[in-house]
Structure 1
């Protein structure tokens, strides 16, 4: 790619641009379009970058801008780029991540795997979770700590799996567990499927396998039928974590653990409060910069009622729980 067009947009516009991309076929050649957030947790501050092999025509730029109502009065930034492989170049900017016993790398930065480390090959892609973000590395370290403490889990769910990284780590740590990994974005499920093959983690419903599904929150038969879970990991966002609290409570076994991440320090008190009201207590917390990772335990109920199984309902309407 030798030319780039940059335009501001909202998150909703960026997602619509990718969901309804038939309009791109009217352009020759068809550009590669990448969406990115400018400010974390600010859906109004996103941008679109369209890459062209040649200088884009005014008509092509106008067409892209017409798909972004909030950018109607913006001045497109058109820049000529050096003749490089931008996919490779962007990944060269990434460094391997050491978190707990895990060593997360791409094909271009594998380097020397430290002695005793568990390598996980995760390419930068359309799904969140390459290990480089503090929320993901914090979850990896939390999982590693639980294993070192001798914790055992038989049924594990990764809600909002992204690239599948945390599901793979759980599968390595507890290879006899029944694992479920879900994401609201079908693209993430496809990415996880590819990464499972790349890293040698089996998919399926059996013991030691990872069952994959696209689901809004916990609303999927696979998630419901395999409940209750001993361990649930939800590395998503603070708002969905709070709204999903009743649903996650329903599918967590008494005494079971929740690992919650994707929230800022300023949001931790609200998330903890939402789960404490539903019978959880904070067991452990680790902070990496501004990003805490919380582990909560569901209190055992000493009443004659038997715990109810999850029914799949959630107070959150279909939305985006698993991508950034």
Structure 2
């Protein structure tokens, strides 16, 4: 039995739009979706959906129909592979990424770390968040800015919630900036295990509690909150649905950093959070994606 990857070739903005379509169409099936840059010089990206084992015969057509609204002429390609860690393979050869004072890198690039860098070392794992995507990089830059400008500096920015933590990179970044407590949650237990490993590897275990939690139903939120900073790098639709819960778990005077949002979705997300009494402070724009800071 082989695993399969169904993908289209596009640019970075197109990959983001395709990711949203794929996520919306197949979220109930639990198939992983991802984007990755395959040719940096020419700006070529791929948007993919992964299926463990042999899919239904018409699955390729299902993917094509899902993408038609925005990609009427897209060719859906198939890659078949055996027992391969596709996430590890996708991360092979990725260069270190700088975002604000942070440098996100693999073990093979430790030589790229400079004296004053806040270096976060990640290895291939089954969770989103390496710093290479515009949303993660935008969040890292915004976290640095928001925590440094908090009353009392970074130490006054906690406790912090990283909602949809993935690899744990954003929780690690917050912990590196100051002596704050961080709750890092994800709906995927695999992601939680990856985040825990990365937290230990970067020596911030004393500050970060990694939990598997769906929505805001876990008691962990009440135990660790209310939060002076909530970071949510997810997708626009779930962010808008969770706006009331996010507001409810904020401490008075707290901040929210939101990403996973396409430029075209910015006003919808802002409207959802304005409706909860939050005001827009700043937007970072990165290659078709935005990161928002609200208070």
Fold conserved between structures, TM > 0.5: yes
> Cα–Cα, structure 1 residues 202 and 17, in superposed 2: closer, same or farther, change >3 Å?
closer
1:172 aligns with 2:170: no
Q: What corresponds to 1:319 in structure 2?
A: none
Q: What corresponds to 2:290 in structure 1?
A: 292
For residue 108 of structure 1, give the secondary structure of its aligned residue in structure 2: helix
What CA distance in whole angstroms lies between the structure 2 residues aligned with 1:47 and 1:125? 17
Question: Match for 1:281 among 279, 282, 285?
Answer: 279
What CA distance in whole angstroms lies between the structure 2 residues aligned with 1:101 and 1:186? 30
Conserved in 1, the CA contact under 8 Å of 2:192 and 2:211?
yes
What CA distance in whole angstroms lies between the structure 2 residues aligned with 1:211 and 1:5? 34
Q: What corresponds to 2:193 in structure 1?
A: 190
How many residue pairs get aligned? The number is 253
> Cα–Cα, structure 1 residues 222 and 107, in superposed 2: closer, same or farther, change >3 Å?
same
| RMSD value, Cα | 3.4
**Structure 1: 5+ residue stretches without partners:** 19-34, 40-44, 51-62, 204-208, 298-324
**Deviation at residue 86 of structure 1 after TM alignment:** 8.1
TM-score (norm. length: structure 2): 0.74
**Structure 2: 5+ residue stretches without partners:** 9-21, 37-46, 65-75
1:140 aligns with 2:140: yes
> Cα–Cα, structure 1 residues 80 and 181, in superposed 2: closer, same or farther, change >3 Å?
closer
**Deviation at residue 162 of structure 1 after TM alignment:** 0.5
**Deviation at residue 93 of structure 1 after TM alignment:** 3.0
Q: What corresponds to 1:65 in structure 2?
A: 55
Q: What corresponds to 2:214 in structure 1?
A: 216
TM-score (norm. length: structure 1): 0.68
Q: What corresponds to 2:67 in structure 1?
A: none
Question: Match for 1:163 among 149, 164, 167?
Answer: 167
If each structure's helix is expressed as a fraction of its own residues, which one has the higher value?
2
Q: Which has the larger radius of gyration?
A: 1
